[in-house]
Amino acid sequence: MTQSFNRVGNAPRVGIDPAGRPALVDSCRDGLGTASGILLALVTAVLAFKAKIAGCRTFVTELIRKSRMRKNDSVSHVMTKDVVKLDYNDPVSTARKLFEYSGIHHLPVVKGNEIVGILTWTDFLRISFGEFGNQDVRTLDAMLDHTYQLKDVMKADPVTMPLTGTVRDAAQLLSNNGFHSVPVVDGKNLAGIVTSTDLIRYLVDQY
């Protein structure tokens, strides 16, 4: 667990409030008044987020196709090297804290420095709010850690790209697979992570 965070730009998200709950729940409770209404608002926000991410990927791909950027530049030029990550033996509540304080949406899971999985914000939200409902942070953390281990909630053997790959490779991987980020590996070891936001910043620097 590192102290510096790889933020995903200003990408929209349903926040997790200081009490450890999705911020949308509290903000819409008064207006909706029912559990079904709250859940509907939450699902709507998640779908809106995914739609914006899909638009971001399309934008990146089109810019790369039309721009004069050096598409064969190494992915190391754009990736975040100081990656916020989880150790395989961390309690699930550690993921909640990292999602809350860093604003990121994807947490690689490592054994030593070998990547063995990835946990996404949407998957975490599904188990934390979807299964345990609206709990205070202390109760939520206790329930998460009592019920799950990281191996139960992460996606094992995630898609990665090699450190020898190019910026173009990264853009095509994100676009073709519907990803917003992809871990970069040196052999089996985590070397960085590249996101759509990283690619946009890189493209802007080309002009």
**Domain for residue 113, yes or no?**
yes
98 lies in a domain? yes
Domain that holds residue 106: 23-205
Which distant-in-sequence residues (6+ apart) come within 8 Å of 145 by Cβ?
A: 91, 92, 93
**Of 62-66, 189-193, 194-198, which range is least confident?**
62-66
pLDDT of residue 110 exceeding 60, the answer is: yes
For residue 93, being part of any structural domain is answered with yes
* SS3 category, 20: coil
pLDDT at 69: 53
Query: Rounded to an integer, what is the distance from CA 156 to the centroid of its chain?
Result: 15
* 14-25: pLDDT as tens digits: 444 444 434 443
- 182 lies in a domain? yes
**Residue 120 in 3-state DSSP?**
strand
Is 3 a member of any domain? no
What is the bridge-based pairing of β-strands 86-87 and 155-156?
unpaired
pLDDT in tens, 130-183: 777 777 889 889 999 999 999 999 999 999 999 999 998 998 898 888 888 999
Beta-carbon contacts of 202 under 8 Å, excluding residues fewer than 6 positions away, are 69, 77, 78, 167
How many percent of the chain have pLDDT more than 70? 64
Q: Is residue 15 part of a domain?
A: no
Q: Which CATH number fits the domain that encloses residue 82?
A: 3.10.580.10
The pLDDT score that the predictor gives to residue 39 is: 46
Looking at the domain assignment, is residue 108 inside a domain? yes
* Predicted TM-score (pTM) of this structure: 0.67
Number of domains in the chain: 1
Of 190, 18, 194, 187, give the one whose Cα is nearest residue 99.
Answer: 18
For position 134, what pLDDT does the model report? 76
What angle (nearest 5°) sits at the alpha carbon of residue 23, between those of residues 32 and 18? 140
- Residue 7 belongs to some domain of the structure: no
